[in-house]
Amino acid sequence: MENRLTSDHRTDAQVGRAQSSGLRVLLPTVLPAMLVVLGLVLPLFMFEGDQHPSKIGLGPGAWPDAILKGMSFFAALWLAREIWVLGRAGRTTTLSPPDDDLSYSYAKAIGGLVMIVAYGWLLPLTGFALTTAAFIALWCVFGGVRKPLVVIPVSLLGTYALLWVFMGLALMPLSRGVGVFNSFSIALLQLLGIY
Amino acid sequence: MSTIHLLAGGFQAAFQFWPFLTIVTGLLVGVVAGAIPGISFVNAMAMALPFTYVMEPTQSMLFLGGIYVGGVFGGSISAIMINVPGTPASLPATWEGYPMTRQGNVKRALAIAVTASATGGLVSALVLAFLSAPFATFALRFSQPEFFAATLLGLVSVIAIAKDQPLVTMVSLLLGIAVGTVGVDPLYGQARFTFGVPEMESGVRFVVVMIGLFAIGEVVDLLATNRDLRPKKIDGKGLGVSFRDILNVKGAILRGTGLGCMIGVIPGAGATPGAVIAYGVEKQVSKRGKEFGTGVDEGLAAPEAAKNATTGAAMVPLLTLGIPGSAATAIMLAAMMLHGVNPGPLLFIMDPSMVYTIFAAMIIANLLMIVAGIGVAQVFSTLMRTPPAILAAFIVVLSVVGAYGVRNNVFDVYVCLAFGVLGWGMKRIGFPTAPMVLGVILGPLAERYFLTSLANAHQDWTVFFVRPISATILFLALVFVCWSLWPALKPIARRLLGRKERFNV
């Protein structure tokens, strides 16, 4: 039973790897094909439904239309080259991805991207001060800096320095958040002598 | 009085305590602002404008001039050290400077960059002092078709960075130009590709795209690879570069300086096309052209010299004709107007001491930039010794603030993050991001010049070919494309010719 599980597990891993390598093989062909379609379809969505482009001269749609068609043309040439590459072994694809798959942690990378997007999304809601302090602390922990004596001062002093430079000195209207977070940000900024 | 006498008087005035301190302060502000991605020296100049109310007219120009000179170089510090260009003109510094940093030659890269920048800036300041009049006459002959041709030349120079993938580079460039078309068009005032989102009508700002594509992707890679930013090997004591090394790149510096002076004097062209064209030309001219992209001294020196050479040159139309050719010189014009000074030919007659003090200040600022640049780079070096996770967290925060600061708009933060995710994906599959950024920067300019040229010429397409300067630049662009693509086309041509010969035999 145990052997069977292990064998099943291995099979899943192998299938996963095969699928991933299959994707890698297909990607150079799929990407230019998608760009060809994108260049041909996007001009259809250039103007809002109720808008009518001016008829004087070339009009506002001429330049983007030409650019997108140009992109489609070059993407089609790229696609043709990729199909030519698939035709015979030994030919190399146009794109050359970095050769660091063994040392690259995709889980960490995706985790980092999620954190960055969450930071940007929360910023207008919870305010710059609170979100930034939390983000710096969480990022440090996620990145391997786990000592509280490092993480907490870096996060708090760093946020204070950023607040002082951008809100105090450059007078940038960075977000204070909404509702209770707004009140908290105002109180904090008054306490720090920035307001 | 001769130019030399007037310039000597300018030096005397600039070396007084307060004027000198003003230049140094402006220079430091510029280098720091330029080095922080998203803040940019133009924003720093705009923020400094209110401070100039309390200054004398000449002193205000010295302050803003210092920020301008320092800021144009400052962008290269972050480009070389963390692969994030502080300003668009520093884009080529990421292509050659950052590989040098990864090889452990960060001090060498910075020393070459600051020397080339200072030389370019110094020569252009001298050009400004001695050759303002002929250069201004040359600049006056430029109209919309010439601007379009010059922008097109800047766009096609991207082929030089294509390495072995010109097709993908073209797709990336055109994708960038397409991104630049989002929002209200420059001639008809009609919104495009807004998809019902009102914020999209204001368009996508290139700074936001640049920060997203470069900074976010780099930070995520830093996290995923646990890379140590400290140099792997020590590149010797001192500056990491000898006088002989600088002499070896003198050709690249001179070519970059010449191109920068020519391009900078054209109103609207600016440092970015100057740097990119200089890089492209250097790649073709240099014996090590094939190695470009791996950390070649010439590839770093030429665009660095070119971008700072545009600073003095951009002052030529401002001071001689009162035409600001860039955002930075527009702020300087605003400062002059606020003080009741009207730039133009009369200024040279009415207040020559002010004009020549500005010339002298530009020369001094470029000389001092070597010290300021190395000093700020030392601070950045120290920062690089901090754990990558801490550094990355602050790069993200500064990037987000930089994107927000462009228009004080949270929508720009979302755009920046979207391009960040896209940039990371592009990097992982090996799709080049630099041509896309260049497209977003130069695309809107090209469109505006193209459409206004045609509108002024009653939609006559020949307008680009019948005007001598425009036709010459377009011809140069064509030559440049052929020259750049020749190494890739040569084997195909040889194969085809070979087949033909065999067939004939």
CB-based contact B192 A61, cutoff 8 Å: yes
Q: Which amino acid is at A15?
A: V
Reported as a pLDDT band with limits 50, 70 and 90, residue B435 is: confident
Reported as a pLDDT band with limits 50, 70 and 90, residue B502 is: low
CB-based contact B220 A98, cutoff 8 Å: no
In the predicted structure, residue B265 carries a pLDDT above the cut 80: no
| Lowest-confidence pick of A11-20, A59-68, B256-265, B476-485 | A11-20
| A53 contacts on B by Cβ (under 8 Å) | 188, 190
Structure confidence at residue A3 (pLDDT): 43
Write out pLDDT tens, residues B439-469.
Answer: 888 888 899 989 999 999 988 889 999 999 8
In the predicted structure, residue B42 carries a pLDDT above the cut 80: no
| B461 contacts on A by Cβ (under 8 Å) | none
Q: What whole-number percentage of chain B has pLDDT above 70?
A: 91
| A27 contacts on B by Cβ (under 8 Å) | 429
CB-based contact A71 B223, cutoff 8 Å: no
Decide which of B201 and B317 is more confident.
B201
Write out pLDDT tens, residues B76-109.
Answer: 888 888 887 878 788 889 888 988 888 888 888 8
Average pLDDT, chain A: 83
A73 Cβ contact partners less than 8 Å away, ≥ 6 residues apart: A39
The arithmetic mean of pLDDT across residues B193-201, rounded, is 88
How far apart, in whole angstroms, are the C-alpha atoms of residue B121 and residue B96? Answer: 20
The CA R_g of chain A, rounded to the nearest whole Å, is 26
Structure confidence at residue B499 (pLDDT): 62
The Cα of B426 is separated from the nearest Cα of chain A by a number of Å equal to 9
Write out pLDDT tens, residues A126-173.
Answer: 999 999 999 999 999 998 888 999 999 999 999 999 999 888 887 888
Reported as a pLDDT band with limits 50, 70 and 90, residue B237 is: low
Structure confidence at residue A77 (pLDDT): 92
Write out pLDDT tens, residues A29-43.
Answer: 889 999 999 999 999
Q: Which residue has the tokens 């660091």?
A: A100
Structure confidence at residue B303 (pLDDT): 93
| B190 contacts on A by Cβ (under 8 Å) | 47, 51, 53-54, 60
Decide which of B420 and A7 is more confident.
B420
Quick one: closest CA in A to B403, which residue? A120
Structure confidence at residue A17 (pLDDT): 46
Q: How many CA atoms lie within 13 A of A168 on its CB side?
A: 16
CB-based contact B178 A48, cutoff 8 Å: no
- Which residue blocks in B141-187 are alpha helix, DSSP H? 144-156, 166-180
Task: Map B393-444 to HEC letters.
Answer: HHHHHHHHHHHHHCCCCHHHHHHHHHHHHHHHHHHHHCCCCHHHHHHHHHHH
CB-based contact A94 B165, cutoff 8 Å: yes
Say which of A46, A98, A123 has its CB closest to residue B400.
Answer: A123
Long-range contacts of A74-81 (CB under 8 A, 24+ apart): A74/B167, A74/B170, A74/B171, A74/B174, A75/A32, A75/A33, A75/A35, A75/A36, A75/A39, A75/B171, A76/A32, A76/A36, A77/B167, A78/A32, A78/A35, A78/B167, A78/B168, A78/B171, A79/A29, A79/A32, A79/A33, A79/A36, A81/B167
CB-based contact B393 A139, cutoff 8 Å: yes
Structure confidence at residue A136 (pLDDT): 95
Q: Which of A89-93, B123-127, B161-165 has the highest average model confidence (pLDDT)?
A: B123-127
Q: Which residue has the tokens 């009653």?
A: B458
This model of the complex carries an ipTM of 0.85
- CA separation (Å) from B392 to A78, A132, A187, B220, B426? 35, 13, 29, 8, 20
| A105 contacts on B by Cβ (under 8 Å) | 224-226
Q: Which of B150-154, B170-174, B215-219, B437-441 has the highest average model confidence (pLDDT)?
A: B170-174
Structure confidence at residue B163 (pLDDT): 58
| Lowest-confidence pick of A13-27, B291-305, B412-426, B481-495 | A13-27
Decide which of A111 and B264 is more confident.
A111
Say which of A71, A98, A166 has its CB closest to residue B178.
Answer: A71
Phi/psi at B188 (5° precision): -100, -15
Reported as a pLDDT band with limits 50, 70 and 90, residue B175 is: very high
The arithmetic mean of pLDDT across residues A62-83, rounded, is 92
How far apart, in whole angstroms, are the C-alpha atoms of residue B210 and residue B89? Answer: 11
In the predicted structure, residue B422 carries a pLDDT above the cut 70: yes
In the predicted structure, residue B482 carries a pLDDT above the cut 90: no
Q: What whole-number percentage of chain A has pLDDT above 90?
A: 49
Reported as a pLDDT band with limits 50, 70 and 90, residue B37 is: low
The Cα of B452 is separated from the nearest Cα of chain A by a number of Å equal to 10
In the predicted structure, residue B357 carries a pLDDT above the cut 80: yes
CB-based contact B171 A145, cutoff 8 Å: no
The Cα of A73 is separated from the nearest Cα of chain B by a number of Å equal to 9
The CA R_g of chain B, rounded to the nearest whole Å, is 22
In the predicted structure, residue B279 carries a pLDDT above the cut 70: yes
Average pLDDT, chain B: 83
Domain boundaries, chain A: 2-87, 106-191
The arithmetic mean of pLDDT across residues B422-442, rounded, is 86
Structure confidence at residue B102 (pLDDT): 82
Structure confidence at residue B234 (pLDDT): 47
Structure confidence at residue A141 (pLDDT): 94
Structure confidence at residue B269 (pLDDT): 64
- Which residue blocks in B106-156 are alpha helix, DSSP H? 106-140, 144-156
How many other C-beta atoms are found inside a 10 Å radius of the C-beta of residue A22? 10
The Cα of B45 is separated from the nearest Cα of chain A by a number of Å equal to 12
CB-based contact B417 A75, cutoff 8 Å: no
In the predicted structure, residue B238 carries a pLDDT above the cut 70: no
Write out pLDDT tens, residues B43-52.
Answer: 778 777 777 7
Decide which of A126 and B339 is more confident.
A126
The arithmetic mean of pLDDT across residues B234-241, rounded, is 58
Structure confidence at residue A42 (pLDDT): 93
Say which of A75, A100, A143 has its CB closest to residue B388.
Answer: A143
Q: Which amino acid is at B117?
A: S
Reported as a pLDDT band with limits 50, 70 and 90, residue B485 is: confident
Q: What whole-number percentage of chain B has pLDDT above 90?
A: 17
Domain boundaries, chain B: 3-504
- CA separation (Å) from B162 to A70, B172, B213, B280, B479? 17, 10, 18, 10, 16
How far apart, in whole angstroms, are the C-alpha atoms of residue A36 and residue A34? Answer: 5
| A42 contacts on B by Cβ (under 8 Å) | 178, 193
Write out pLDDT tens, residues A3-31.
Answer: 444 444 444 444 444 445 556 667 778 89
Reported as a pLDDT band with limits 50, 70 and 90, residue B229 is: low
In the predicted structure, residue B294 carries a pLDDT above the cut 90: no
